[in-house]
Amino acid sequence: MNDYLQIKPEVLEALNTNKAVVALESTIISHGFNYPENLETAKACEDIIYKEGAIPATIGIRNGKILVGMNQDDLEYFATNKSITKVSRRDVISTLATKQDGATTVATTMMFAAMANIKLFATGGIGGVHKHGETTMDVSADLLELAQTNVNVVCSGAKSILDLEKTKEVLETHGVSILGYQTTAFPDFYTRDSGLLVDYMAKDAQEIAEIILTKDKLKITNGTLIANPIPEEFEMDPDFIRTKIKEAIASSIKENIKGKDVTPYLLAYLHKHTDGKSVIANKALVINNAQVAAKIAVALTKLR
Ligand code: PSU
Ligand code: MN
């Protein structure tokens, strides 16, 4: 494993001294936003994690090495190099063996965070069961990773480009708890309430840390999903965004977009067709998730 895992000294030091660490993904940098919003968001996430007293570890694959913690040059590389492919679990071994680059999704960021023993990970939204998933079988590897890998993921739910009800069913089947951060509603990314419920409403970061610690004491090895709604002032108009999502899905079907290209296609469509409004919302929620993840990570180190 050490042949492949390259943990940044600052992150390693934190891990060895029970200091809080928060993982961040790189697909969101390479495929989730355009330049320069991607770099701005990545840096703002790292900054807010430092401010909360934790250490950020942005994860990605560069030249066949799994970077756990990026420096400025790495962040810029992932933000500007548009040829970096999106690496899901199935792509990991070929990417590493052939010394290529790869942007890590929620699934692979969780995988590598677990290898480094990082417990908290912040992102925007997770992948899930796509609409018409019952016929296309398009179910994100993120869900199966949550089922088997012990990392706790702070996100703003999932975009309603997905079938959220089916997404929740798959998580339930696999025993993944959805913990609401000060909310009973399962958020749907751009808005605070999808109409569905979380499994448990946690009142603060301390309580979530206690739940995570309980899971670890019991040697339960799956992840949890911590649902943190977009800050109110950035919430989008539900009718507007739902109309745009319908348009995006119709366009993806017309263009015959399949497999791993579906999610990036839908994200790019929304960013292009909402006058930059979805980008502002997306940025705000990701940074907010980084902050909450850092608070939980700090609370967890105090309990341990
Ligand atoms: N959803 C978002 N933004 C993202 C992604 C999902 O709102 O950037 C990215 C994440 O990296 C996630 C991946 O893990 O897309 C899911 O892709 P797929 O649906 O192909 O599993
Ligand atoms: Mn898919």
Q: For 109-167, how does the pLDDT look when each residue is reduced to its tens digit (9 = 90+)? A: 999 999 999 999 999 999 999 999 999 999 999 999 999 999 999 999 999 899 999 99
Q: CA 207, 210, 215: angle at the middle one, nearest 5?
A: 130
60 in contact with ligand 1, CB cutoff 6 A: no
- Which atom of ligand 1 is nearest the CA belonging to 262? 20
Bridge partner list, 225: 153, 178
pLDDT at 1 over 80: no
Distance CA 248, CA 254 (A): 10
| Nearest bound ligand to the CA of residue 133 | 2
Distance CA 56, CA 24 (A): 7
Q: Is 64 helix (H, G, I), strand (E, B) or coil?
A: coil
Question: Quick check: is 25 catalytic?
Answer: yes
**pLDDT given for residue 82 in this prediction:** 84
Q: Which of 25, 46, 145, 235 is catalytic?
A: 25
The mean predicted confidence, pLDDT, of the chain is: 96
- Name the residue type at position 19: K
Question: Quick check: is 65 catalytic?
Answer: no
Structure pTM? 0.97
β-bridge pairing 103-104 and 185-188: unpaired
Q: Which two tokens stand for residue 15?
A: 């891990």
| DSSP-assigned states of every residue in 116-140 | TT--EEE-S----BBTTHHHH--B-
pLDDT tens by residue, 34-89: 999 999 999 999 999 999 999 999 999 999 999 999 999 999 999 999 899 999 99
**pLDDT given for residue 78 in this prediction:** 98
How many angstroms does the Cα of residue 283 sit away from the middle of ligand 1?
15
Distance CA 31, CA 28 (A): 5
